[in-house]
Structure 1
Amino acid sequence: MVTFSPAQVCVKVGTAGKSKCSLPAGNMFVRAFLAGAYIAMGAALATVGSTGVADFLGAGIAQFILGALFPIGLILVVLTGAELFTGDAMFAPMAILQGHTGLKGLIYLWVVVYIGNLVGSLFMAYVMANGPFVSYATGTAVVTAFGTRAIGIATAKVSYAGIGGIWSVFLKGILCNWLVCLALFLGLAADEVISKIVAIWFPIMAFVATGFEHCVANMYFIPAGILTNMVAGTADTNLLNWGTMWTNNIIWSTLGNIVGAVIFMAIIYYYCYKSEICALCEAK
């Protein structure tokens, strides 16, 4: 197994960011749609796998299982070359710092990928809310235990009230994407599949189990709860709805995710290894 130094990984991040910013919009959107769907697949598995666990093994073990199952989503994203907004929040700024692209390229990448991730997430939310989260055994739709769990997760994610709630989501967003980008960074430090999977799994498990907020995952978690609740009618729609999805979570988790990627990964790592990065770029 070959491992790369932090400076070498920074160069790889910048080069990848340059490539991402130059993708045609249609190609970029399809890759982003796939990434949204893949993250949702991990989130759906985590929802199902953690259902009922807290009642028998406690809340901590339930969170650990949620975290242990979720990373399949990012593993699929990385190994298939899909485009994820939270990762691109590190890749594009690093490309700018290394002089590979400009602010226009960053905005282009972020906007197209964000929309594509949202569409892919909503697609999976619809599939789950009309599939495993409901049962038609009696001829009419009845919410399953998995669906009830999905509604509970969604309700918790929009239950941030006031300035304190917004600040909480923002801070959780920072820490979330710091770990997500560390997972991507560590994945790039390895050159074979098993090592990449292991490198990705630990930081992603940590962010999910700890309860941090990931905007793309929430593009699935919250709609899945909203759509399932349309069948069940068991949650307060004054709290869980399409408006609170944005105002109580996704706007602020997105901003936190950007700060986590741009400041705590791209800028800090470029600062730490600038001389080595410049030397490696000149040697190419």
Structure 2
Amino acid sequence: MSYVNPTELVTKMIDAGESKAHMSTRDTVIRAYMAGAILALAAAFAVTVTVQTGQPLVGALLFPVGFCMLYLLGFDLLTGVFTLVPLAWIDRRPGVTMRSLLRNWGLVFLGNFAGAFTVALMMAVIFTFGFDTDPNEVGRAIGTIGESRTVGYADHGAAGMLTLFVRGVLCNWMVSTGVAAAMISTSVSGKVIAMWMPILVFFYMGFEHSIVNMFLFPSGLLLGGDFSLGDYLVWNEIPTIVGNLVGGLTFVGLTMYATHYRTGARRDQAVPGKLELPDRITT
């Protein structure tokens, strides 16, 4: 059968985290670069569809194509390794240390950002005919996104920062669910269907994804958005990364590890002196 039960699923998640912690620097960066680039292209695609159709749901329905492509090709997002690699460390897999965990996170962050920024530059060229004209309709829309999701939060002060953080938490709750769900099937069609659902939820709900934002906000700056690099870092990227870490690790990694891998004692084993009755009484 193509279905993987939850206990086997968590074992696969831990194995994947261990593998990523031990991966060479070259492979880690290349895979992260490609993941950031593909997800950025998917974000550009979704925004284009939304602008052209006027229907955000259509863009959200199509955005997961990028996540599916990068996952099936074995590339890595920071949001995914936030969830998987700590499980290998918690499970005390050989050689997986806090240093190797932080090394993986740092390299994946750099690779994701480089990939997303490369696409941001390319799309800025397309939106402006090589910076020869003002941004087209899609380019202007991306600039507006950058403004509303930086200074828009800043206008509300601490409440805005809390909202941003919670959106980051909810985002990686869904994205990491997609990462885990992709392992619950051994068929390509099963993986795609399982991934598609939570990614659709996160994108349509406007939750904050640190890698998508590595494309949207640098693009907005390149296209004349009315916000600064400091606004982007302080009022989006940094709190989003923290929220993504909390959301993926807490609501996906640790919960699945606790209930499907390090399960609690059964009630009939936990109650001392319990009278065990036979399955049936014969006369």
Give runs of aligned pairs for residues 153-164 of structure 1, distance below 5 A: 153-158=145-150, 159-161=152-154, 162-164=157-159
Q: In the alignment, is the contact (CA less than 8 A) between 1:47 and 1:146 conserved in 2? A: yes
Shift of 1:242: 1.4
TM-score normalised by structure 1 residue count: 0.87
AA aligned opposite 1:148 = R
The answer to whether structure 1 residue 99 and structure 2 residue 92 are counterparts is yes
Query: Which SS does the other structure have where 1:142 is aligned?
Result: coil
Query: Which SS does the other structure have where 1:74 is aligned?
Result: helix
Query: Which residue pairs with 1:74 in the alignment?
Result: 67
Where in structure 2 are there 5+ consecutive unaligned residues?
Answer: 265-283
Q: Pick from 208, 211, 217: which aligns with 1:216?
A: 211
Query: Which residue pairs with 1:227 in the alignment?
Result: 222
Give runs of aligned pairs for residues 147-158 of structure 1, distance below 5 A: 147-158=139-150
Query: Which residue pairs with 2:111 in the alignment?
Result: 116
AA aligned opposite 2:137 = A
Q: In the alignment, is the contact (CA less than 8 A) between 2:178 and 2:197 conserved in 1? A: yes
Where in structure 1 are there 5+ consecutive unaligned residues?
Answer: 55-61, 230-234, 278-284
Shift of 1:275: 4.0
**2: CA distance, partners of 1:267 / 1:275:** 10
The answer to whether structure 1 residue 245 and structure 2 residue 232 are counterparts is yes
Shift of 1:140: 3.4
Size of the alignment, in residue pairs?
A: 259
Query: Which residue pairs with 1:36 in the alignment?
Result: 36
Q: In the alignment, is the contact (CA less than 8 A) between 1:97 and 1:270 conserved in 2? A: no
Q: Deviations over 1:104-128 (max 9, x none)?
A: 2210110110111011111010000
Q: In the alignment, is the contact (CA less than 8 A) between 2:34 and 2:115 conserved in 1? A: yes
Query: Which SS does the other structure have where 2:153 is aligned?
Result: coil
Query: Which residue pairs with 1:257 in the alignment?
Result: 244
Query: Which residue pairs with 1:134 in the alignment?
Result: 128
**2: CA distance, partners of 1:122 / 1:251:** 16
Q: Which has the larger radius of gyration?
A: 2
**1: CA distance, partners of 2:233 / 2:77:** 19
Q: In the alignment, is the contact (CA less than 8 A) between 2:120 and 2:218 conserved in 1? A: yes
AA aligned opposite 1:201 = W
AA aligned opposite 2:67 = L
Q: In the alignment, is the contact (CA less than 8 A) between 1:129 and 1:224 conserved in 2? A: yes
Give runs of aligned pairs for residues 161-200 of structure 1, distance below 5 A: 161=154, 162-200=157-195
TM-score normalised by structure 2 residue count: 0.87
**2: CA distance, partners of 1:71 / 1:3:** 21
**2: CA distance, partners of 1:267 / 1:177:** 13
Query: Which residue pairs with 1:281 in the alignment?
Result: none
Q: In the alignment, is the contact (CA less than 8 A) between 2:10 and 2:261 conserved in 1? A: no
Shift of 1:66: 2.6
Q: Deviations over 1:90-113 (max 9, x none)?
A: 111111122212212210110110
Q: Deviations over 1:58-107 (max 9, x none)?
A: xxxx3312311211221122111111100000111111122212212210
AA aligned opposite 1:247 = V
Query: Which residue pairs with 1:268 in the alignment?
Result: 255
**2: CA distance, partners of 1:204 / 1:152:** 23
**1: CA distance, partners of 2:261 / 2:189:** 30
Identical positions, percent:
29
Query: Which residue pairs with 1:125 in the alignment?
Result: 120
Cα root mean square deviation, aligned:
1.7
**1: CA distance, partners of 2:256 / 2:262:** 11
**1: CA distance, partners of 2:59 / 2:29:** 28
**2: CA distance, partners of 1:170 / 1:217:** 15
**2: CA distance, partners of 1:33 / 1:263:** 26
Q: Which moves more between the two structures, 152-161 or 79-88?
A: 152-161
**1: CA distance, partners of 2:27 / 2:222:** 29
Q: In the alignment, is the contact (CA less than 8 A) between 1:63 and 1:210 conserved in 2? A: no
Q: In the alignment, is the contact (CA less than 8 A) between 2:117 and 2:214 conserved in 1? A: yes
Cα 1:276–1:243 change in 2 (3 A) is same
Cα 1:38–1:32 change in 2 (3 A) is same
